[in-house]
């Protein structure tokens, strides 16, 4: 019983590992969302897992359909082959279809005992080299391998040209060398499994994509809203308000807005905790800055704590930080504009090419 229980435990562990690798770890997501938002976000974590499960199911269904279509195509192509016997899978002929083109992948194996050449000839049906007649006056073959290849192709072309419901493949070359015809191993199967592995890797690498997007949105919100918050804070401090009063006044104005950004929603949570537990605002701001890992925010939160604990002038330092942030924001916006202009260059060139083609087409056609 011990080996059976060990196997069952191993299988359970493997399933859990695969689920965590493809779908994501619920505990990890809950911790990351809690760190990002400062409160429990179990619903977001479960929603992410559900989304990943749907994507995984769609991917598995696509893989299954690809495998089924592949093996059905393999079985249908084998129905066109005539084998020597059930045990001997050597092909002796092909069944000619009632309409359409002949389809099949076969290999001619020719072994010469004098060791001049030993190898295989892959012949795809239909193939340009098999369906076209050789060019008159062609240059002499470079070696005997090429000569054998051309001879087998010529024999196969003659066999296809013979009338009848069956195509009997040549058994010997014109020199009397035996030819063995075998079904070619389909190399697409390896590419198919490689695609499945690649798809699994994509699913695994994107299992936390929703979390990364929310982190990126939070970072953009801090970069955009922090300078405006400092601007309002400096104006209120210069007007004679203390930090707590200025903070409350800013949040009072922000609560009137219907849509709240990540930055101001976090400041609203800070104000709620302050009113409920009297947890100092500067301590909560410092904790929020550490959670977001924004260096500018961490530095500004440290300046606010220094002011409240050591009496450093707050408005002057915050004004300097505000100016620096506004300058960074301006540079970032200019850089984004340049990137967008670069991205628009190719579509504009394509549009111009289409317009030029439309303009000169009538003149070209009439000339």
Last residue of a domain, one of 189, 218, 244: 189
Q: Is residue 302 included in any domain, yes or no?
A: yes
Q: Is residue 361 included in any domain, yes or no?
A: no
Residue spans of the chain under pLDDT 50: 1-2, 4, 6-10, 114-141
Q: Is residue 200 included in any domain, yes or no?
A: no
Last residue of a domain, one of 189, 220, 244: 189
pLDDT at position 262 is 92
The CA distance from 49 to 22, in Å, is 10
pLDDT at position 367 is 62
Last residue of a domain, one of 132, 156, 189: 189
The CA distance from 260 to 245, in Å, is 21
The CA distance from 65 to 124, in Å, is 26
Q: Is residue 349 included in any domain, yes or no?
A: no
Q: Is residue 40 included in any domain, yes or no?
A: yes
For residue 260, give its domain range: 210-340
Check whether residue 38 and residue 96 sit in a common domain: no
Check whether residue 175 and residue 226 sit in a common domain: no
Check whether residue 220 and residue 333 sit in a common domain: yes
Check whether residue 304 and residue 182 sit in a common domain: no
Strands of 76-195, DSSP E:
81-83, 91-95, 104-111, 118-125, 166-168, 180-183
Burial of 258 (0-12, 13-18, 19+ CB in 10 A): exposed
What are the residues whose beta carbons fall under 8 Å from the beta carbon of 308, sequence distance 6 or more? Answer: 243, 280, 282
The CA distance from 341 to 335, in Å, is 10
Check whether residue 49 and residue 84 sit in a common domain: no
Q: Is residue 355 included in any domain, yes or no?
A: no
Check whether residue 326 and residue 224 sit in a common domain: yes
pLDDT at position 265 is 92
Check whether residue 161 and residue 233 sit in a common domain: no
Give the count of alpha carbons within 13 A of 246, CB side only.
Answer: 19
Taking the CA atoms of 37, 43, 46 and 52 in sequence, report the sign of the dihedral they define. Answer: negative
Which among 101, 92, 151, 159 is positioned nearest to 125, based on CA atoms? 101
65-85 tens-digit pLDDT: 877 877 766 565 555 666 665
DSSP state letter for 198? H
Check whether residue 69 and residue 92 sit in a common domain: no
Check whether residue 35 and residue 110 sit in a common domain: no
pLDDT at position 24 is 82
The CA distance from 93 to 47, in Å, is 58
Asked if 154 and 129 count as a contact pair (C-beta separation under 8 A), the reply is no
Check whether residue 324 and residue 214 sit in a common domain: yes
Asked if 326 and 334 count as a contact pair (C-beta separation under 8 A), the reply is no
Q: Is residue 199 included in any domain, yes or no?
A: no
Domains contained in the chain, number: 3
Give the count of alpha carbons within 13 A of 322, CB side only.
Answer: 16
Strands of the chain, DSSP E:
81-83, 91-95, 104-111, 118-125, 166-168, 180-183
Q: Is residue 317 included in any domain, yes or no?
A: yes
Beta bridge partners of 318: none
pLDDT at position 121 is 46
Check whether residue 240 and residue 176 sit in a common domain: no
Check whether residue 219 and residue 325 sit in a common domain: yes
């Amino acid at each position: 019983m011990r080996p059976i229980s060990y196997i069952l435990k191993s299988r359970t562990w493997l399933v859990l590992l695969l689920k965590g690798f493809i779908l994501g770890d619920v505990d990890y997501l809950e911790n990351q969302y809690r760190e990002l938002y400062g409160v429990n976000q179990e619903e977001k974590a479960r929603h992410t897992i559900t989304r990943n499960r749907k994507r995984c199911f769609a991917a598995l269904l696509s893989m299954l359909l690809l495998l089924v279509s592949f093996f059905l195509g393999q079985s249908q192509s084998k129905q066109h082959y005539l084998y020597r016997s059930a045990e001997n899978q050597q092909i002796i002929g092909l069944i000619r279809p009632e309409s359409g083109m002949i389809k099949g992948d076969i290999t001619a194996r020719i072994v010469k005992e004098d060791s001049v050449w030993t190898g295989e000839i892959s012949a795809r049906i239909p193939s340009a080299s098999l369906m076209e007649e050789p060019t008159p006056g062609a240059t002499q073959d470079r070696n005997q391998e090429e000569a054998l290849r051309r001879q087998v192709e010529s024999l196969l072309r003659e066999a296809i040209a013979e009338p009848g419901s069956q195509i009997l493949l040549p058994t010997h070359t014109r020199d009397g060398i035996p030819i063995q015809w075998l079904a070619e191993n389909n190399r697409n199967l390896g590419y198919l499994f490689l695609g499945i592995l690649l798809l699994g890797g994509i699913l695994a690498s994107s299992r936390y994509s929703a979390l990364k997007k929310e982190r990126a949105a939070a970072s953009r919100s801090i970069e955009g809203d922090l300078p405006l918050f400092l601007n309002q804070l400096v104006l209120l401090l210069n007007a004679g308000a203390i930090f707590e009063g200025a903070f409350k006044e800013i949040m009072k104005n922000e609560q009137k807005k219907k849509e709240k950004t990540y930055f101001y929603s976090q400041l609203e949570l800070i104000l709620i905790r302050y009113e409920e537990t009297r947890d100092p605002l500067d301590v909560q701001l410092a904790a929020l800055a550490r959670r977001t890992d924004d260096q500018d925010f961490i530095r500004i939160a440290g300046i606010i704590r220094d002011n409240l604990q050591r009496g450093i002038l707050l408005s002057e330092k915050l004004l300097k930080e505000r100016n620096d942030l506004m300058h960074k924001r301006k540079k970032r916006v200019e850089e984004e504009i340049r990137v967008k202009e670069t991205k628009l260059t190719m579509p504009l060139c394509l549009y111009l090419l289409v317009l030029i083609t439309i303009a000169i087409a009538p003149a070209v056609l009439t000339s």
